[in-house]
Amino acid sequence: MSITNFAPGVHYVGVNDRTTELFEELWMIPLGVTYNSYLIVGNEKTALIDTVAEGFYLELEANIKAVLGDRRLDYIVVNHMEQDHSGSIELLKKEYPEVTIVGNAKTADMLNGFYGINQGVHIVKDGDSLDLGGKTLTFYMTPMLHWPETMMTYLTQEGVLFSGDAFGCFGALAGAVVDSDLNPGMYWMEMYRYYAAIVAKYGISVKNAMKKLAALNLQYIASTHGPVWHDNLQRVVGIYADLAEWKAEKGVVVAYASMHGNTAKAAELVARRLAEKGVKNVVLQNLSNNDISYVLMNMARYNGIIIGGTTYNAEINPRVALLLRALKGSNAQNRIVGCFGCYSWAPGVTKKMMTALDGLKVTTLEPVEFKQSVGADDLSSLNALADAMASKI
């Protein structure tokens, strides 16, 4: 077998994207991203598991043909309809007009809605199988991971779980595909960041999927983004399980936005006090030059969060507001949360900040608000905030 033919009859035919700046036009991907696609060659039939973003079609087609030669492509299995995975279906149908697309009823609705495809679609439901001749694919519905139609496909004979976006991570591949053939070190934080940005809201769906698939004999987890996991399979499952429970290490993320330096100064003072109280994992992040996914990554990793914001035209600083919305949207829980804010003529920003997090299952600390710059009294309040955080995490 070769480095891309990682199990009998299982071929990696995906692509690297090292040119897109923002994944989903939202999240920075300086280490790139992969769009994974897998070709299963059975004794009678062949099946492609997910495709790639449209812009990478020609590379996918070449990868497929390098394996199939003139052989037919019989099925395209669609685990996830997001365009970075479904984007090449239309072009593949032109190349292989007899191909059947396999998905669930929700997939069929999206195939029609996004691409006008409503012929040659085979609908599957939970537990259905497809026999390729010596290769059996079984389909498990795993909705809201992270769209309604997401499902996973299990190849029984080789124990490969094609998991869709679940267990995925940012980071392009450098030649090797399976973790046994590479140093996985760069992918761990990219996995936290991917989860925090894309999956965090759906921790329940992660837990439901894990319960449903618990009895499967997993030799490989082949997601749509990042390496295929084999040697580190249990570690990857453990990371996703911990993140789904919002389990965290002891540490504090201090994230702030400052226009003219006063809030920034307060953030540095809070970080210093946390360190003086023995907190070793302190991360200080300026929201003006940190992609928000890196802040969310640290908030998924550590159990303490302190957010500093200025008043901006009677509202929360827009960058802080965005972070608060993302944190609320990810259904963050099991966290100790504090905030500090500043103003020049109208107090009240910290009340707005804490209200933005209403409903989250988090422990909140007494907020600190100061006028214009940090005075002696403000410093003791900021120290008290840091002391309270240090004692609770």
Ligand X SMILES: Cc1cc2nc3c(=O)[nH]c(=O)nc-3n(C[C@H](O)[C@H](O)[C@H](O)COP(=O)(O)O)c2cc1C
Site residues (CB under 6 A) for ligand X?
A: 258-264, 310-314, 342-346, 372
Q: Report residue 156 as tokens.
A: 């029984």
To ligand X, the closest distance from the beta carbon of 199 in angstroms equals 33
To ligand X, the closest distance from the beta carbon of 352 in angstroms equals 11
Say which residue the tokens 């497809």 belong to.
130
Is the distance from CB of 326 to CB of 296 less than 8 angstroms?
A: yes
Which residue's CB is nearer to ligand X, number 230 or number 319? 319
To ligand X, the closest distance from the beta carbon of 304 in angstroms equals 22
To ligand X, the closest distance from the beta carbon of 308 in angstroms equals 8
Going by the DSSP 8-state scheme, the letter that residue 260 receives in this structure is S
d(CA 22, CA 19): 9
Which residue's CB is nearer to ligand X, number 163 or number 262? 262
User: In this structure, which amino acid lies at residue 184?
Assistant: P
The torsion angles phi and psi of 67, rounded to 5 degrees, stand at -95, -45
d(CA 372, CA 291): 27
To ligand X, the closest distance from the beta carbon of 265 in angstroms equals 8
Give the DSSP H/E element, type plus range, for residue 17.
strand 15-17
Residues whose CB is less than 8 angstroms from the CB of residue 333 and which lie 6 or more positions away in sequence, other chains included: 246, 360, 361, 362
Which residue's CB is nearer to ligand X, number 213 or number 386? 386
To ligand X, the closest distance from the beta carbon of 250 in angstroms equals 28
The torsion angles phi and psi of 48, rounded to 5 degrees, stand at -100, 130
Which residue's CB is nearer to ligand X, number 68 or number 321? 321
Which residue's CB is nearer to ligand X, number 211 or number 260? 260
Question: Is the Cα dihedral 63, 66, 69, 71 positive or negative?
Answer: negative
Give the DSSP H/E element, type plus range, for residue 133.
none
Is the distance from CB of 359 to CB of 329 less than 8 angstroms?
A: no
Which residue's CB is nearer to ligand X, number 116 or number 345? 345
Which residue's CB is nearer to ligand X, number 127 or number 318? 318
- In degrees to the nearest 10, what's the CA dihedral of 189, 193, 198, 199? 60
To ligand X, the closest distance from the beta carbon of 288 in angstroms equals 10
Q: What b-and-e string marks burial along 127-150, b requiring 16 or more CB atoms within 10 Å of the CB?
A: eeebebeebebbbbbbbbbbbebb
Which residue's CB is nearer to ligand X, number 247 or number 371? 371
To ligand X, the closest distance from the beta carbon of 314 in angstroms equals 4
Which has the closest alpha carbon to 285: 270, 330, 354? 270
Is the distance from CB of 94 to CB of 54 less than 8 angstroms?
A: no
